[in-house]
Amino acid sequence: MDILVERTADVLTIAFNRPDKKNAITAAMYQTMADALVQAQGDASVRAIVIRGSIGIFSAGNDLEDFLKQPPVGEDAPVFQFLRAISAAGKPLVASVAGAAVGVGTTLLLHCDFVYAADTATFSLPFAQLGLCPEAASSLLLQRVAGYQAAAEKLMLGEAFDAKEAQRMGFVNRLLPAAEVDAFAMKQAQKLAALPASSLRVTKQLMKRAAQHELRTQMTEEAVHFAKMLLAPEAKEAFNAFFEKRKPDFRQFD
Ligand code: COA
């Protein structure tokens, strides 16, 4: 199974488990994660959620082959179900990043409450490099957390940056040795699970409520552009270049 959904007492863990493809996320994987998050929302016995990768890799982001074969169409596409579910999650979400987090691998972190990363983890948002545009409301959330210029640099150039920089930008709470990050994230989730669920629920609601409408509007607008750009020649060139292990040539397009 490419996504493992596991229970340890009252903590639910959602783990990427497709290491041979660097945990690239297919439509089926988005669906499994969306379903797990929605189910957890209605299950009082789940008191905190951990999202983690596999050894040495968090996620290479959207599966590019899957995107070419079955581009997400309409708001019920699994990727959009997942993004809605993670952005609306009422339970505490703790992320453990022990490796590369690419594209949605990084943008999903902007919806988590706590993010712990290995000091060797890397992050990147190569949307423009792929002929695409930001998703998961990252065009709004990243500049809010890091400031406009820092967000613009990461979203427009798309170059990978290290865990120290991610922490300085403000979306990583703490850096740990790679071998310790999963256990630490679990420990934090267990602490949260022992606290009054109602207090955590209301705290999250109060912190997130004001921005929720704006976030939804941004995510919808991003999705309209993203879906169109996915079918455009720039994205085709970028995706083909990735699989052919060559540099894309964007100068052929206006
Ligand atoms: N979609 C589909 N397949 C992917 C993938 C993706 N996003 N990322 C990696 N893979 C596949 C590779 O094609 C390769 O498959 P193969 O063994 O059948 O050839 C395998 O996973 C290993 O990837 P590789 O690139 O050799 O690993 P690496 O350790 O050198 O680099 C990454 C890891 C994550 C830095 C690199 O794979 C990468 O940049 N991936 C693309 C990320 C991306 O653009 N994501 C989309 C964001 S919107």
pLDDT at 80: 94
| Cβ burial, residue 234 (10 Å; 0-12/13-18/19+) | middle
pLDDT at 240: 93
Q: How many CB atoms lie within 10 A of CB 111?
A: 22
Note down the domain range covering 29.
3-178
Q: How far apart are CA 45 and CA 10, in angstroms?
A: 6
Looking up tokens 């299950």 gives: 43
pLDDT at position 68 over 90: no
- Domain CATH code at residue 144: 3.90.226.10
Q: How far apart are CA 195 and CA 191, in angstroms?
A: 7
Classify residue 230: in a domain, yes or no.
no
Protein residue with its CA nearest to atom 16 in ligand 1: 21
Averaged over 73-101, what is the pLDDT?
95
Q: What is the pLDDT of residues 193-207, one digit of tens each?
A: 999 999 999 999 999
CA of 121 to the centre of ligand 1 (A): 16
Q: How many residues appear in the chain?
A: 254
pLDDT at 151: 98
Pocket test for ligand 1, best of 2, 17, 21, 22 (most atoms within 8 A of CB): 22
CA of 20 to the centre of ligand 1 (A): 9
Classify residue 146: in a domain, yes or no.
yes
Classify residue 228: in a domain, yes or no.
no
- Residue 101 near ligand 1, beta carbon < 6 Å: no
Q: What is the pLDDT of residues 196-254, one digit of tens each?
A: 999 999 999 999 999 999 999 999 999 999 999 999 999 999 999 999 999 999 999 98
pLDDT at 73: 83
96 bridge partner residues: 52, 116
Q: What's the domain count of the chain? A: 1
Classify residue 61: in a domain, yes or no.
yes
* Per-residue three-class SS string for the chain: CCEEEEEECCEEEEEECCHHHCCCECHHHHHHHHHHHHHHHCCCCCCEEEEECECCEEECCECHHHHHHCCCCCCCCHHHHHHHHHHHCCCCEEEEECCEEECHHHHHHHHCCEEEEECCCEEECCCHHHCCCCCCCHHHHHHHHHCHHHHHHHHHHCCCEEHHHHHHHCCCCEEECHHHHHHHHHHHHHHHHCCCHHHHHHHHHHHHHHHHHHHHHHHHHHHHHHHHHHCCHHHHHHHHHHHCCCCCCHHHCC
Q: What is the pLDDT of residues 22-31, one digit of tens each?
A: 999 999 999 9
Classify residue 156: in a domain, yes or no.
yes
Q: How far apart are CA 133 and CA 1, in angstroms?
A: 30
Q: What is the pLDDT of residues 144-178, one digit of tens each?
A: 999 999 999 999 999 999 999 999 999 999 999 99
pLDDT at position 94 over 90: yes
Averaged over 79-94, what is the pLDDT?
97
Classify residue 22: in a domain, yes or no.
yes
- Residue 235 near ligand 1, beta carbon < 6 Å: no
Q: How far apart are CA 234 and CA 121, in angstroms?
A: 29
Contact 110, 144 (CB under 8 A): no
Classify residue 212: in a domain, yes or no.
no
CA of 84 to the centre of ligand 1 (A): 25
CA of 162 to the centre of ligand 1 (A): 18
Q: How far apart are CA 105 and CA 207, in angstroms?
A: 23
Classify residue 222: in a domain, yes or no.
no
Question: Taking the model in full, what pTM does it have?
Answer: 0.97
With pLDDT > 90 as the criterion, what percentage of the chain qualifies?
A: 96
Looking up tokens 């995510």 gives: 219
